[in-house]
Amino acid sequence: MRKILIICFLFISLKSVAQKELSPRQTYPGLFEKVQLASIYPDSKSFADAIPKKTSKVIMEAYTAQKDLKEFDLKKFVEEYFSMPENHNALYKSDIGAGIEKHLDTLWTVLERSPDQISEIRTSLLPLPKPYIVPGGRFREIYYWDSYFTMLGLKKAGKIKIMKDMIDNFAYLINTYGFIPNGNRSYYLTRSQPPFFAAMVKLLAENNPDVKLSDYKGVLEKEYNFWMKGASTLGIGKAINHSVKLKDGSLLNRYYDAGDQPREESFREDFEAAKMTKQLPSAFLRNVRSAAESGWDFSSRWFADGENFNQIITTDLLPVDLNTLMYNLEKTIAEANQQAGNIAKAKLFLAKADKRKAAILKYFWNSNLNFFTDYNWKMQSSSKQFTLAALFPLYFKLATPTQAKLVSIKVEKDFLKAGGLVSTLKTTKEQWDSPNAWAPLQWVSIQGLRNYGYDKLADTVTNRWVNLNIAVFKQTGKLMEKYNVVNADSKGGGGGEYPLQDGFGWTNGVLLKLLK
């Protein structure tokens, strides 16, 4: 009974602080911008995650009193009043000789975090009531879509409890904030990430008599309401938040961040990039932030000309992967209601899913390219960009057999490289373009191909990806966030706003699933 009371108190305590979450920029106005633009830390995320040594009131009073003094030293001030967050990966040394599976088993403990404690001195971390797994490196918090792919490995490793704890943490976030933020940081409260929560719950419920989809019915519906907020009042050809209503009345979704200022975790980068675009700064920054919500931050996929970051148009695009995930969410809500005996609501969501499926096949199948592509709702035209997002309709079994065959031919001909599948066919400095490859897209592609009987190609992708992961591990003792699959001698992927990270949650999860 005492344990139950403690847990209930923790939930109530967390709930009480949730309503007054301020981001670092809101907490330290003026100081935050000065620190980030002064490049005191090479990575903007460092100060966004910094641990204050005093309350924000004391820090801001000290800053106000000192900032105009001739001898004021900003770096010394920050070092006096803040500590940098710990890098747990740096404390861990791998044993290459023990083999990859031993390494994976040990990493779960390295990447696990205990339930968060509440203190009067607050950081940007949004406290969670149960243990969770983080990706690793600079990613010190739970991440939304990462966690699904991490869970693939957790389930294979028999770590069902931590898997359920993570799902319950996501349910807590939905109940507290109305949605699952990008990660459990206050500066992520303007956006989510690809909606994999329904897929997580289904993964947990599979072959598990202790869990039913109906247990999560309420939070699944709340997440759906977040993605569809305002959709019921939309006029034809209009957009609001994440929803867009097309000329034929089809309701589809886009990525959309509620903010239009530089991202706090990439403040300096966004501040400088906004000077290089012809868009209004607020429109440009919303497109940047919305691409971050997609998880593909960044890719030529989001650029009007397919080449240049300053032409980013994320909010003009309806993404094929997002809408396929929304289809899965609608189907899962229907099934959860069926289990709960609410037949009317189950039928309602099945009808929504059927409408979305028809719209996906109409707007995302590009008959000119024989491939699934994104759709520009403003231009009323299909994107010309080839990306692995095309495999999502195969993963969730939406594609026709003919479409799946054509996609598989293109994947084998152009995407397949020495170490796996490139994310796009464009080679740029962006990390979600060629020559880079990422574990989640390998898994979606492999399983999507298997769903339609292309086992030989799926096996080829699996073998090349697993062999690359193991080869890099043998050279470095690490598993990486991303890999260069074109150059077999590379020790990891490149590009992007920050150095290559190791750890790494979703790489570990997908690799273990494929090894088993």
Q: Each residue of 35-66: pLDDT tens digit? A: 999 999 999 999 999 999 999 999 999 999 99
* C-alpha–C-alpha distance, residues 176 and 183, integer Å: 14
Does 466 map to a domain? no
Q: In whole numbers, what is the pLDDT of the chain averaged over residues?
A: 94
Q: Name the token pair of 289.
A: 């932030």
Q: How confident is the model at residue 88 (pLDDT cuts 50, 70, 90)?
A: low
* pLDDT value at residue 18: 45
Q: How confident is the model at residue 11 (pLDDT cuts 50, 70, 90)?
A: very low
Q: What share of the chain is helix, strand, coil (3-state, %, to 5)?
A: 55, 10, 35
Does 50 map to a domain? yes
Question: Cα-atom radius of gyration of the chain, to the nearest Å?
Answer: 23
SS3 382: strand
Does 181 map to a domain? no
Does 70 map to a domain? yes
- Residue 23 dihedral angles phi and psi, to the nearest 5°: -75, 165
Q: Is 481 one of the annotated active-site residues of the chain?
A: yes
* pLDDT value at residue 15: 45
* pLDDT value at residue 178: 98
Q: Give how many domains the chain has, as a whole number.
A: 1
8 Å CB contact between 257 and 289: yes
Does 55 map to a domain? yes
Mean pLDDT computed over 399-408: 98
Does 508 map to a domain? no
Q: 80 is in which domain, residue-wise?
A: 21-84
Q: Active-site residue among 264, 316, 481, 497? A: 481
Residues 6 or more apart whose Cβ sits within 8 Å of residue 485: 417, 418, 419, 420, 421, 422, 435, 436, 437, 464, 465, 468
Does 10 map to a domain? no
Q: Active-site residue among 146, 293, 297, 497? A: 297
Does 51 map to a domain? yes
The type of residue at 86 is E
Residues 6 or more apart whose Cβ sits within 8 Å of residue 186: 21, 22, 23, 24, 124, 125, 126
Q: Is 297 one of the annotated active-site residues of the chain?
A: yes
Q: Each residue of 112-150: pLDDT tens digit? A: 999 998 888 899 999 999 999 999 989 999 999 999 999
Q: What is the torsional sign of CA 192, 193, 195, 197?
A: negative
Q: Each residue of 100-109: pLDDT tens digit? A: 999 999 999 9
User: For helices 2-18 and 160-177, what crossing angle results, to 10°?
Assistant: 40
8 Å CB contact between 301 and 424: yes
